[in-house]
Structure 1
Amino acid sequence: MRQSASRVEITSRAKGIGVLGASVLLALGTAITWVQLGSSDPQTSVEVTESPTIRDVDGGSDYFKSFPNSLPVDPSYFPIGVWKESLTDPSDAPKDRAVLINTYVELTGNSDIGFATNVGSFALTDEPLAGATGRVLSDEVDMWARGGSAEWTGLWPGQGEICRPANLGCGFTVQRELLKALPQQTLVYSNYGKGVTFWEGAENAATFLNDFQDVVSADNYWFTDPYICGPGEGGAVLAGGKELESGKCRLAANYGWTVSKLRSLINPALSRPVWAFVEVGHPFTENEAPTITGPEIRAAVWSSLIHGARGIIYFNHSFGGDCQTQHILRDACGEEIRPWVTAVNRQITGLAPVLNAPFLDGALAHGSGVDAAVKMHGGDLYVFAGSAQADPQAAEFTLGCLPGSAATATVLDEERTVAISNGTFRDTFEDGNTVHLYRIDGAAAACTP
């Protein structure tokens, strides 16, 4: 760990369409679906403005092919990462593989990358290590150096003044100087935070997202951050500058909001992957802050995927709460959530070819109480749906492209089916953490433009 990834920094986890209201752009492309997060009216129809159109995943399915010795382009690989984990013993990587982690994002400085590669895992590192598949440029520089091109003193958080003059931002300078040190064609990844999602204007946020790296993410911990519901953070973008009420703040759909916010600022649109951060413990020192639960983790992950995330990274550290650890997914602190993380990772792994396959935009109409995405793979249609409100609801979905005859959707991993009549099916969502994954066999041909 270099100084930029100090304890102070980690505990702080706190073309451009600017998304500053409760409506967020779910699908970028010729077909646009707007979803009102937290709506209490599941009967409100989501507007579908175009006939169905096929949209490739951001960056394209072979995005990593242009980077030598980088991540696989095999459709069976979908990045499931863990942040700042250590590999100091041969047993560490197998423990992570047991919960289906396949990628390490910024290993600790005392780690042996060989323990990862020996089990077929991949690693993006902040140092030039043999066997690394990419480099980590920085973490949350938008928060500790802010947007701007002032001089960087070379210091990191906790070491003194970072920018000169101190009242100006130098985050762009930091990124440029770090980037200059990397070999050409290296896959570069950066993570950002509340600067990009809440505090910076659209121009500065877009500069951070577009000018320095090939893969990007932002860590908004909606379930556990003690400050994120405030009027200057989540409330600024989802409540008009007022405090965001708990039922609309502590909501899995907001993880999808974060992904869509980043995607809306990528220029050219859809040109590079956005990954999603999800916490798996208690990442803040304040003991009164919430600790995330298993159902919340699953829902946050699927909200991110529905909104177009092309990778998932778990924040694996608890700095407060009842069980403090740096290795939640390995040790006793993770006993309650580990089965949930394993289960959702198993779903992602099994559905990796589908997640890497194109979206079908504009095909599905549904109420505003849910978020949903349609995928096409192997002749089948997949509808991934998650609740966008805390209250229970009965949701209706209509695929207008399906023929009038009756059909059936298999609900994956639930051992049940739902009937489809004239392209419409219905299901119940018990709370804000409910997720249903549907497969409609042989339906892709009827909906292909």
Structure 2
Amino acid sequence: MFSLMKPKNAPDNWAQLPGNYVDDEVDGRFGWDEGVAHMNQTIKELNAKEAGRFTYANWTPSLISYDAPMDITKRYWETVDVSSTSNYYYAGACRDWRLRTPQGYNPTTTATCQTSSAYAKAMQVMQEVNAARGVYTPIWMVPTVLSPEGEHDLSDQMTPDRVKAQVWAMLIHESRGIVWFTQSPGGGDDNPCMSGDTLADVRIHNTACSRDQVQAMGEVNAEVKALAPVLNTQSYVWNFGDGLDTMLKSYNGDAYIFAMTQDALTGQRTFTLPTGVTPKTVDVVGENRTIAVKDGKFTDDFPVESTHHVYKVRL
């Protein structure tokens, strides 16, 4: 096991520390200039003892929204090797979440703000930060096990299907790492499942209100680990068809298609395979079924907005 946080008594050259988790949501605790200065000073102190390890920081959603100009976001991004943002779209209130784009503002509408497609849009904007910098650095995301604010008129509780769907939406849009938020600290009387450590609550205290979500977290972690050799390869650009969010990989003689729907829509989707890829069937990974291919195309169902499928195609 490896960690981005060093135990108190570990030596400076602790082998289980490949990188440093520098700080969390600095952009929400300082002014713009003060936050950048804080990051640079903290990293300078870390590098003095632990040169060679990568640096990672998590930011608030403000850095990819209309709250922060692109030049501010770039300055924060440039302080570390790896960036993530904590966007809890499924669980949070359907506020005016407007994601910044080079063309202006891209509202996350009330029809899609509490759906997997909101995470996809956030990842796209994070990719645009790299594009504006002209430097590609790994982008991570922070999924949540429970709603940080409980369940009331503004916030929804997480469900097992949502726990999984947020992760697949992130990965399909090139998140290179996931860091779980495992607390539910807010909401007061509206939060019957308040928790400082959801995993401990389930494992040690057998807390019923979060048991299914933690089980789903374990399941999606196992799925991602099993597919890690595929996920860690280069992605290829291909348009499989309208209404699809996809990621295409090639590994060990097979193509892998990771797929969800765009904009929280549901129903059947038809996939057009790349030229020269001519299988008779495709395997649906983890679902114990195959789909026939006809004239280079196949069709599958996406009954709810959280549905995701992974297809394996022999090359």
TM class by shorter-chain length? 0.7 to 0.9
Distance 1:386 1:329, change over 3 A: farther
Provide, for residues 191-231 of structure 1, a one-character-per-residue CA deviation record: whole Å limited to 9, x for no partner: 0112211111111111111x2111110011101122xx333
| Maintained 8 Å contact 1:365/1:397 | yes
CA distance in 2, matches of 1:264, 1:127: 35
Corresponding residue number in structure 2 for 1:260 = 124
Corresponding residue number in structure 1 for 2:3 = 123
CA distance in 2, matches of 1:272, 1:382: 24
CA distance in 2, matches of 1:146, 1:127: 30
Alpha-carbon distance, 1:186 to partner: 2.6
| Relative contact order, higher structure (CA 8 A, sep 6+) | 1
Q: Which of 143, 146, 155 is 2:28 aligned to?
A: 143
Distance 1:357 1:257, change over 3 A: same
Alpha-carbon distance, 1:242 to partner: 9.4
Provide, for residues 335-365 of structure 1, a one-character-per-residue CA deviation record: whole Å limited to 9, x for no partner: 111222122111111111000111121x333
Corresponding residue number in structure 2 for 1:313 = 179
Corresponding residue number in structure 2 for 1:294 = 160
Matches within 5 A, 1:192-203: 192-198=59-65, 199-203=67-71
One-letter identity of the residue aligned with 2:2 = F
One-letter identity of the residue aligned with 1:219 = S
| Maintained 8 Å contact 1:147/1:205 | no
Which 5+ residue runs of structure 1 have no aligned equivalent?
A: 1-120, 149-169, 444-449
| Maintained 8 Å contact 2:150/2:194 | no
CA distance in 2, matches of 1:325, 1:257: 29
| Maintained 8 Å contact 1:393/1:429 | yes
| Maintained 8 Å contact 2:117/2:264 | no
Deviates more, 1:251-260 or 1:311-320: 251-260
Corresponding residue number in structure 1 for 2:76 = 208
- SS of the aligned residue for 1:336 comes to helix
Q: Which of 233, 244, 260 is 1:357 aligned to?
A: 233
Matches within 5 A, 1:278-427: 278-284=143-149, 287-288=152-153, 289-319=155-185, 320=187, 321-330=191-200, 331=202, 332=207, 333-361=209-237, 363-367=238-242, 369-403=243-277, 405-427=278-300
Distance 1:433 1:354, change over 3 A: same
Distance 1:372 1:146, change over 3 A: farther
More helix by share: 2
Which 5+ residue runs of structure 2 have no aligned equivalent?
A: none
1:182 aligns to 2:39 (yes or no)? no
TM-score by length of 2: 0.85
One-letter identity of the residue aligned with 1:208 = Y
Distance 1:417 1:137, change over 3 A: same
| Maintained 8 Å contact 2:172/2:247 | yes
- CA RMSD between the two structures: 2.3
CA distance in 1, matches of 2:151, 2:290: 44
